[in-house]
Structure 1
Amino acid sequence: MLFKKIILLLCLLGVVSTLTAQSMYRKFADSEMKRFPEAWQLDHGKRLYFGYSQGLGCLAMLKVAEKTGEAKYFNYVEKWADTLINEKGEIHLYELSAYNVDFVNSGKILFELYEKTKKEKYRLAIETLVQQLKYQPTTLEGGYWHKLIYPHQIWLDGVYMTGPFLAKYAKLSKDDQYYDKAVDEILITAKHTFDAKTGLYYHAWDESRKQAWANPQTGQSPNFWGRSIGWYFMAVIDVLEELPKDHIRRGELIKLVQSLATNLAKYQDDEGLWWQVIDQAGRARNYQEASVNSMFLYAYSKGINQKYLSKSYKNLIDKLYLGIQKKLLKQENGLWTLIQCNAVAGLGGNPYRDGSYDYYVSERIRDNDAKATGPFIMGCIEAEF
């Protein structure tokens, strides 16, 4: 009874002990399933679609299923995929001709679905996405364009969409060239987006230097968007998990992860959080954004578990989780909610997105965006919250 009173007092003071957070991954996953009874509704979806955000949310659900042994999480995902993909492996509303790497992200869930259900259509759908990547336009060095409509451009986001998928396919097909391609995606992107002064990565790079957002000398976009670095951090961590232990370039990826972890730690604020524009904490209209913090929770925690990162980062993780609890996590009507999620951000397009500071802090903010909730669930699993 005394223990419960102490915990209650801490909650009221806003200093929530990690002891109260056991199985938060299950609590939050259940909240998402109640909020969005069908998986296509994740990320506030309005139609049945093979969206990368729904794919991210479903990947988190598969991890909860694996962790808990409860079939309801797996069934939630499989129902979505089974509805989306016909017996020929054709994906509802998928357009190969768009050469959009976002489509590839949801393909990650198909490997486990194929393994568990043995439905051939999931294997055929995987091959459809591989076929896209075989002909995806690339930079001169072989880095995938983000989309056909964004020529000559590499975005950090895209490395997460493609890299782990390629590594999973390498294992499935027993074809090592796909491991090599996954590593190439990471390292080519690092070469052109890394900023030695800050230790951070710019959101994107334009090989042609023709975009208005591109630095005429370097081709780099002008700011460090938190979520884009989160995508990249998760991508490297996930590729390393799939990569053979004796892969000749494995050491380069581990070194990159360790450098990124060290440099990002410099930008964690006193409350344990990172901001929408990472290097400008406290500037007017900037804010502590949920997806970047969820992604870092996942990447740092998994990095420790996989022994790529030192256990000394556990203090950073505890501080981060407490910051999320205090500033970004709410409970309303029995459901857990993540607030301050940046709904979307990109570059170019119409209306034109110029990558400026003002652009990133003006994009729409909403609750329970899957780009935050999916990594939060996975991060809580890795950190045992």
Structure 2
Amino acid sequence: MTPSRFLRSALAGLLLAAGTAGAVPTASVPEFSDWPAGTAPAEVGRRVAENFAARSFQWQTDPKRRYVIYPEICAWYGALTVAGLSGDTALRDRLYAKYDVLLTPEGAARVSPDAHVDYRIFGVVPLEFQVQGRGDAWRAIGLTYADAQWGNPVIADGVSPEARWWIDDMYMLPILQVQAYRASRQAKYLDRAALTMAAYLDKLQQPNGLFLHAPDSPFYWGRGNGWVAAGMAELLRDLPADHPHHARILAGYRAMMAALLPVQGTDGLWKQLVDKPESWGETSATGMFTFALVTGVKSGWLNAKDYAPAARRAWLALVAHLDDDANLAEVCVGTDKARKTTKSDDLKVQYDFYQARPRRSGDLHGQAPVLWTASALLR
């Protein structure tokens, strides 16, 4: 056993000794109630969901954009869950209606047929339509994407041939399969997601609990780690405690959450480079970590005394970065690994690349996790 594998195994054993507690009602977590004016999850979730509902798809406004892209799906899913949990049927119906243009010949051509995780995730939205009771026809559409993703599994490990062994995959692959389970209640979809997550954890989680952007870009990039945190939380919401991979995934999740606590900024945000205190506070990663923390506290996987205050600080920091139109500021733009972009092995060059990434307001990479977190607080 390698040293890093030994450390991970030892940490997993310690974490599992804590066991898995039962679900914790929101009312019993003081940090998740009594919100200051304008910061309550229902109000904030509605504002950010309305912001998304009013948008055109990017392919309708940007001639360079060919297809519906994954941040749109992530925000759409989050907006739908906010509408469903808050009982806002008018908002939900507008979010349903956004699909209408995709039923036209022009719109249908804007849904990518490519076998790629960033495009297959499209199936999450029709599956959520079915989860919210819109009809079984939507389940059939969504399951087409989930099943195609596993059409020819890699024989060696059984994961999807779309696996790239990038940390982003740890959200993109499981969320589609978990949604397929939620819509169909067929255990095979959870089995796929769990097998994949366990394999990725064994291969990519570092001894400190975090995840490098890539082996040749050895930095703990915020949003990359955020995808992992959100993906594990989504899967654990549905994965039975007696599932063969549950213990491994819960241990990986707890190790990551423990690593995040000491590096949260005093302003409530996590950093663009998670372990670099001099780095800037980045909101999309913060939103994803907050979703994972809230879900963990409310599900009983995390100690509320230790983790709920951090989640509350983060939520209030996120809300403080929303403008009057519910656009979230300080969102890092789309970012490939530093080595690929800079073509340099010099770690100072790579560090400067991450630090200098442009920041946007209203980017859907940031809007989506605010919606996920609002939903987690409403559940």
The alignment status of 1:369 with 2:359, answered yes or no, reads no
2:88 to 70, 75, 78: 70
The equivalent residue for 1:9 is: none
- Kindly provide the CA deviation profile for residues 129-185 of structure 1, in whole angstroms up to 9, marking residues without a partner as x: 1243124675943444667xxxxx311111211102212323544543322221121
- Kindly provide the CA deviation profile for residues 276-332 of structure 1, in whole angstroms up to 9, marking residues without a partner as x: 1111121xxx31111011111111011111111111211111222343345xx1434
What is the distance in 2 between the residues matched to 1:375 and 1:42?
Answer: 22
What is the distance in 1 between the residues matched to 2:47 and 2:352?
Answer: 36
Q: Which amino acid aligns with 1:303?
A: G
Give TM-score scaled by structure 1 length.
0.77
The equivalent residue for 2:24 is: none
2:301 to 305, 308, 329: 308
Taking a change above 3 Å as real, the CA distance of residues 353 and 55 of structure 1, as seen in their structure-2 partners, is: farther
What is the distance in 2 between the residues matched to 1:306 and 1:252?
Answer: 17
What is the distance in 1 between the residues matched to 2:108 and 2:92?
Answer: 19
1:203 to 199, 205, 213: 213
Taking a change above 3 Å as real, the CA distance of residues 325 and 111 of structure 1, as seen in their structure-2 partners, is: closer
Q: CA RMSD in A?
A: 3.2
The equivalent residue for 2:202 is: 191
- Kindly provide the CA deviation profile for residues 241-294 of structure 1, in whole angstroms up to 9, marking residues without a partner as x: 122343232222222221111111121122222111111121xxx311110111
1:255 to 251, 257, 271: 251
Contact 2:127 2:143 (C-alpha < 8 Å) held by counterparts: no
The 5 Å alignment of 1:176-255 reads: 176-196=187-207, 198-204=208-214, 214-215=215-216, 221-255=217-251
The secondary structure found in structure 2 opposite 1:107 is helix
2:283 to 273, 277, 290: 290
1:33 to 40, 50, 59: 50
Shift of 1:37: 1.7
Contact 2:212 2:218 (C-alpha < 8 Å) held by counterparts: yes
What is the distance in 1 between the residues matched to 2:123 and 2:253?
Answer: 24
The equivalent residue for 2:269 is: 273
The alignment status of 1:331 with 2:347, answered yes or no, reads no
What is the distance in 2 between the residues matched to 1:94 and 1:354?
Answer: 35
Shift of 1:360: 1.9
Q: Which amino acid aligns with 2:264?
A: Q
Shift of 1:383: 3.4
Gaps of 5+ in 2: 1-33
Q: Which amino acid aligns with 1:134?
A: W
Gaps of 5+ in 1: 1-16, 148-152, 205-213, 216-220
What is the distance in 2 between the residues matched to 1:35 and 1:166?
Answer: 24
What is the distance in 1 between the residues matched to 2:342 and 2:103?
Answer: 34
Relative contact order, higher structure (CA 8 A, sep 6+): 2
Give the share of equivalent positions with the same residue, in percent.
Answer: 19
The secondary structure found in structure 1 opposite 2:281 is coil
Contact 2:117 2:172 (C-alpha < 8 Å) held by counterparts: yes
The equivalent residue for 2:7 is: none
What is the distance in 2 between the residues matched to 1:172 and 1:323?
Answer: 34
Residues matched between the structures, number: 338
Q: Which amino acid aligns with 1:106?
A: F
Shift of 1:93: 2.8
Taking a change above 3 Å as real, the CA distance of residues 27 and 194 of structure 1, as seen in their structure-2 partners, is: closer
The alignment status of 1:123 with 2:129, answered yes or no, reads no
What is the distance in 2 between the residues matched to 1:229 and 1:381?
Answer: 20
What is the distance in 1 between the residues matched to 2:303 and 2:377?
Answer: 14
Q: Which amino acid aligns with 2:141?
A: A
